[in-house]
Amino acid sequence: MTKLKVVIAGSSGRMGQALITAVLQSPDTQLHAALDRADSRYLNKDAGELCGTPCGVLIGHDVAAAVKGGDVLIDFTRPEGTLNHVKICRANRVNMVVGTTGISAAQKEELVSAAKDIGIVFAPNMSVGVNLTFKLLEIAARVLNEGYDIEIIEAHHKHKVDAPSGTAIRMGEVIATTLGRNLSECAVYGREGVSGERSSATIGFATIRGGDIVGDHTALFAGTGERVEITHKASSRATFAQGALRAARFLVTNKPKLYDMMDVLGLR
């Protein structure tokens, strides 16, 4: 069996280690290369040792060298690093799975451009369950389109640097689009002081940061006499890693294009 040759960016991070574990445990994938920052103290160390499974692949920082001969680069790092990786992968015709959050609309256009030459799956959350949740939110928004106030509550660990999470924003986008709204015009990010009566046209966001929470997301539809809550809770980063591998396998048999997890899961 020909194995999918996977390159992991951000190998020393929590998500990087979860991805390495998933690749090493999967019978149809192999760790082709592992990357980290040029100033990382883990350079030249066995990537598998970080997650308890030595594999002989040393962590490096030369992206161009790492992707040569590889099939796909999986990247859950920071926007600036990801965009640099996109350019290098495009030049080397290596597909990408991008789970990086905090990418701006302008930066996304760089992914769109690169996807003319390589396959890219870009999603704020690679979890299969979360992407099913997006579909459920679409259905809920169609049904609960009048008389319900919508709030999105998300919680993550204390180390997360962006807020609201990319997943929370995507939840808002799905709901807003279904309702014929523009999220940038109707979103309310937090409230303080005398904020006035709530407008039914808004979608509110609340952010919680603390401890080691992997990721909790709830969309609340509050009506008169009832409320509907659609919640997804992640207890391990393994769910994101497995989703990323599913996306990587998807790219093998599909043409260059910018995809998301809805494409991967056939939920269009």
Strand, coil or helix: 222 = strand
Please, which contacts does 36-44 make with residues 24 or more away whose CB atoms are closer than 8 Å?
36/10, 36/11, 36/12, 36/60, 36/61, 37/61, 37/81, 40/12, 42/11, 42/12
Residue 15 main-chain phi, psi, to 5 deg = -70, -40
CA 37 to chain centre: 20
CA distance 86 to 73: 9
Instruction: Give the residue numbers annotated as catalytic, written as ranges.
Output: 156, 160
Residue in this structure with the two tokens 């990587």, named with its chain if needed? 248
CA distance 149 to 130: 22
Residue 219 main-chain phi, psi, to 5 deg = -105, 120
Q: Which of 15, 142, 24 is nearest to 76 (CA)?
A: 15
Q: What stretch of H or E contains 97?
A: strand 95-98
Do 118 and 256 meet the contact criterion of CB atoms below 8 Å apart? yes
Residue 58 β-bridge partners: 46
Count other C-beta atoms under 10 Å from residue 214's C-beta.
Answer: 17
CA distance 233 to 235: 6
